[in-house]
Amino acid sequence: MANPTAEKLSRDEYFYGHKACAGCGGALAVRAALKVLGQNAVSVLPAGCMSAVGFNFPQLCFSNNSIISTFAGTASMLTGIEAGLRAKGYSDFTAVGFAGDGGTADIGIQALSGAIDRNDNIIYICYDNEAYMNTGIQKSGLTPFGARTTTTPAGANIHGNLRPKKNMFEIAAAHDIPYAATASVGYLTDFIRKVEKASQIKGTKYIHVIAPCPTGWGIQPDETVEIAKEVVDCGLWYLAEYENGEFTLNHRPKDFSSVEAYLKKQGRFRHLDLDDIKTVIASRDKKWEFIGKNFTYR
Amino acid sequence: MKPYLREKKAFSFADVPENTSFEAGYLVTVNSGWRSIRPVIDTGRCVGCEQCYLYCPDGVISIQNGKAVIDYDFCKGCGICAKICRLGAIGTEAEHK
Amino acid sequence: MSKRFLSGNEAFAEGIRLAKPDVISAYPITPQTIVVERLSEMVEDGSLRSEFIHVESEHSALSCAIGASAAGARAFTATSSQGLLYMAECLYYASGGRFPIVMMNADRSTALPWNIYGDQRDSLSQLDSGWIQVYAENAQEALDLALMSWKIAEDKRVSTPVMVNLDGFVLTHTYETVEIPEQAQADRFLPPYVTENRIDFADPKNLAFSAGPDTNYIFKYKAHTGMLAAKQVVSETESAFAELFGRQYSGLLDSYRTEDADYILVTLGSIAGLCREAADRLREQGIRAGVVRIRYMRPFPNDEIAAALKHAKAFGVLEKDISFGNEGTVYTNVNSALQKAGVQLPGYDFIGGLGGRNISAGDIAQIFADIQSGTEHVTFIGIGGDGNGKSNG
């Protein structure tokens, strides 16, 4: 029985035997993207979960050329690799980076901005698990409002993280980048289509994929995919693209599923009270109002 | 093609490279010891739709002769495959160690 | 061969043009800017076929160069002072990965207080970063080092990045006549970079990986021995250079009238010329003075230092550095070389030129007088008052 998405992918496995936690959304994102890009992908991974679990000499879990960059240096190393390979006469390759939310929105944002500014011919994929998971669940610039992390503990006075997620997708778009997209591993076919599309565009491409972390989110390992779908269905994340100066919405839930149900499934949000949940819903509605005005649904 | 298991050995002084570059896809340990549950394919129900293959974070499921097959050396027992299967063709058993 | 009147920065840029790096990534900082401006012009006019990457920071400058080197390309960057410190993480990364990148550093003071002028506290703070460090005295040596440094860095026995240091302003902005080798000869001297430490589509690699306690120390040991191998490779490279271009350099250090000297001043960089003049004047007065100019701070010329100083009565170190709470780092290194060789003689550390403060002929004459008479262990040139600028470090 043919699976049209599977048919598009390489049968080879490029990220295999790694030590990511069971049910890791980040590992799924990296695996799927590399199966789109194939053997001539050169992957750059900064210090973070995916490099920590994939590159412990002599256990080296990438079958394509792959390299760890400095934490802040995903984009700048991609630039160097792309320029270096081109200078050495190679043209048939894809330089792709896989950085987490902290590596992208916090410590790596300067280098990423520089690469987009130069329009270097690279794909930058942010696998967003919404906290510094590799160091043990600390708040990043992409940790959502209300989430309990080890540096935003939930107590009687403060209910976890007080700030909303930084809007990396629109920050990338504001550079007038050739292509930017949001995705979720819960909608894998959509993510795969976007990686494929990015691979055919020249210049800088940015894809922001939600990749749940069972350990950090307080869910069971087998819930990764459904929670990544639910975050889209309840409207707290959205599937969109930016191209030629325009925003496109790829998926519009007819009715949002319950935000409360989404939150209460996760240990990191279990402490939230009704007022907190109202705040989350109000912020979601404001976002969708913006999307309604500025994004075209196709 | 995928990374594959090599003979486990101690890396002596001479085996350690001069620089930080080494053969891609070189595995010396398995992940089977991580499992507390073991996904089992019911080949009678499996139609080879490949949803489990697509969504496996570890890439340990392949389709052989139209049926899903799990590489138990590297399966961590996360259970995503069992949940994603709409036909109920993947069950889970407690792992006996 | 042609002759041109060039500043240190411009001479260095000419050397880089001859070396033909595949990728240049750099971020501007005074007093390095002229190097990257000249290189940009060379790329624009087509006389240099490099990918010039306008990075947004020094961290990215070196991170990008590491990426290029991992692609098998010859990569160059240049920086100074705050920029060097900002990229410090990548210094260790480049040397640990054995990527033979060449960098020019315009030696400049480090904030605070802010100051754009020359001292050597920037590069000397990075002696442990695993880079070969060489200090040029003049523009010709700078140009020649731009060529030689690649040959040393890329030698299979070495595979270690090289930092070529030019004193900010005093050398980077001072003009002199330099000889520029012909490209054909430069090509003979420096063939294209070939390495296995690279992305390889026929035989894929995982690079810049982690290594646990069971092997990590072996990687570090190999980096150490690679650096030590540079001693021999510097010597071979200078011989090959002399054969082609007619200029012979003196290895890890440059000794001047030290054979019979009673009093020797050890220093590095562009101040050495003034020190040699001071030694000549003392010789005219019957005082046997000599000068050692350290060229390579890493690998450190332990044996050569001991050999040069062992018959002296006393020595001094004149350096543009202070390790607060101790002494200048050059002194620490020189003293260690002497201790290892069992050479016992009084030594004094003179700290000068910080933040670009001029070191005069009079200052150097006083230093030689202090070496002869004996003085405090550490002296800050120019500090008067009760302590007279002397402190027991």
Domain that holds residue B80: 4-94
Residue ranges in chain B modelled with pLDDT below 70:
97
Residue type, A290: F
CA distance, residue B71 to nearest chain A CA (Å):
10
pLDDT of residue B97: 61
pLDDT of residue B8: 86
Chain C residues with CB under 8 Å of a chain A CB are 22-23, 25, 50-51, 53-57, 59-61, 63-73, 75, 89-90, 93, 199-201, 204-212, 215
Residues C65/C94, Cβ–Cβ less than 8 Å: yes
Residues C119/C283, Cβ–Cβ less than 8 Å: no
Euclidean distance between CA atoms C81 and A119, whole angstroms: 29
Using CB atoms and an 8 Å cut-off, which of residues 184-213 of chain C contact chain B? 196-198, 203-209, 211
Please state the length of chain B.
97
CA distance, residue C87 to nearest chain A CA (Å):
11
The residue among C283, C250, C285, C286 whose CA lies nearest residue C265 is: C283
Q: Are residues C107 and C22 in the same domain?
A: yes
pLDDT of residue A2: 81
Residues C97/C208, Cβ–Cβ less than 8 Å: yes
| Mean pLDDT over the full length of chain A | 97
Secondary structure (DSSP) of C92-104: HHHHHTT---EEE
pLDDT of residue C385: 45
Q: Are residues C206 and C167 in the same domain?
A: yes
Alpha helices, H only, B4-95: 51-55, 80-84
Give the 3-state secondary structure of residue B77: coil
pLDDT above 90 (res A1): no
Per-residue model confidence as pLDDT tens digits over A146-180: 999 999 999 999 999 999 999 999 999 999 999 99
Q: Are residues C271 and C370 in the same domain?
A: yes
pLDDT of residue C390: 57
| B57/A25 Cβ within 8 A | yes
Q: Are residues C259 and C239 in the same domain?
A: no
Q: Are residues C175 and C109 in the same domain?
A: yes
**Beta bridge partner(s), residue C296:** C134
Q: Are residues C265 and C300 in the same domain?
A: yes
Pairing, β A205-210 against β A66-69:
unpaired
Per-residue model confidence as pLDDT tens digits over A236-256: 999 999 999 999 999 999 999
For position C266, which CATH number holds? 3.40.50.920
Indicate the domain borders of chain A: 9-297
pLDDT band at C391 (very low <50, low <70, confident <90, very high): low
Q: How far is CA A217 from CA A223, A261, A262, A267, in A?
A: 10, 14, 11, 6
Contacts of A200 (CB under 8 A, 6+ apart): none
Q: Are residues C56 and C153 in the same domain?
A: yes
Chain B residues with CB under 8 Å of a chain A CB are 1-3, 5, 11, 20, 22-31, 34, 47-51, 53-60, 62, 66, 74, 76-80, 82-84
Task: Please tell me the pTM assigned to this model.
Answer: 0.97
Please compute the mean of the pLDDT values over residues C115-141 and round it to a whole number: 98
| A58/B11 Cβ within 8 A | yes
Interface test with C, best of B21, B23, B26, B28 (most C CBs within 10 A): B21
Backbone Cα Rg of chain B: 17
For position B27, which CATH number holds? 3.30.70.20
| B79/A57 Cβ within 8 A | no
Interface test with A, best of C92, C206, C219 (most A CBs within 10 A): C206
**Beta bridge partner(s), residue A296:** A248
pLDDT band at A28 (very low <50, low <70, confident <90, very high): very high
Euclidean distance between CA atoms C142 and B90, whole angstroms: 69
Please count the CA atoms within 13 angstroms of the CA of A7 that sit on its side-chain side: 6
Residues of C in contact with B22 (CB under 8 A): 205-207, 209
Euclidean distance between CA atoms C368 and C290, whole angstroms: 10
Euclidean distance between CA atoms B14 and B17, whole angstroms: 7
Interface test with C, best of A85, A90, A175, A204 (most C CBs within 10 A): A85
**Beta bridge partner(s), residue C78:** C104
Residues A266/A220, Cβ–Cβ less than 8 Å: no
Domain count, chain B: 1
pLDDT of residue C387: 46
pLDDT of residue C386: 46
State which CATH number among 3.40.50.970, 3.40.50.720, 3.10.50.30, 3.90.580.10 fits the domain covering A9-297.
3.40.50.970
pLDDT above 70 (res C384): no
pLDDT of residue C393: 47
Per-residue model confidence as pLDDT tens digits over C14-32: 999 999 999 999 999 999 9
**Beta bridge partner(s), residue C7:** C175
Residues A269/A212, Cβ–Cβ less than 8 Å: no
pLDDT band at C150 (very low <50, low <70, confident <90, very high): very high
pLDDT of residue C163: 98
| A17/B30 Cβ within 8 A | yes
Per-residue model confidence as pLDDT tens digits over C194-250: 999 999 999 999 999 999 999 999 999 999 999 999 999 999 999 999 999 999 999
The residue among C150, C159, C161, C177 whose CA lies nearest residue C241 is: C150
Q: Are residues C208 and C261 in the same domain?
A: no
Domain count, chain C: 2
**Beta bridge partner(s), residue C206:** A66, B22
Per-residue model confidence as pLDDT tens digits over A192-227: 999 999 999 999 999 999 999 999 999 999 999 999
Per-residue model confidence as pLDDT tens digits over A35-90: 999 999 999 999 999 999 999 999 999 999 999 999 999 999 999 999 999 999 99
The residue among A100, A182, A173 whose CA lies nearest residue A143 is: A100
Q: Are residues C169 and C45 in the same domain?
A: yes
The residue among C306, C290, C299 whose CA lies nearest residue C371 is: C290
Facing A61 at nearest CB: one of B3, B34, B54: B3
pLDDT of residue C1: 81
Chain B residues with CB under 8 Å of a chain C CB are 10-11, 13, 16, 18-26
* Sign of the CA dihedral running C71, C77, C83, C84: positive
Please compute the mean of the pLDDT values over residues C373-391 and round it to a whole number: 77
Percent of chain C with pLDDT over 90: 97
Per-residue model confidence as pLDDT tens digits over C293-322: 999 999 999 999 999 999 999 999 999 999
Per-residue model confidence as pLDDT tens digits over C263-293: 999 999 999 999 999 999 999 999 999 999 9
Domain that holds residue C302: 253-391
Q: Are residues C373 and C260 in the same domain?
A: yes
Residues of B in contact with C218 (CB under 8 A): 11, 13, 16
Q: Are residues C159 and C188 in the same domain?
A: yes
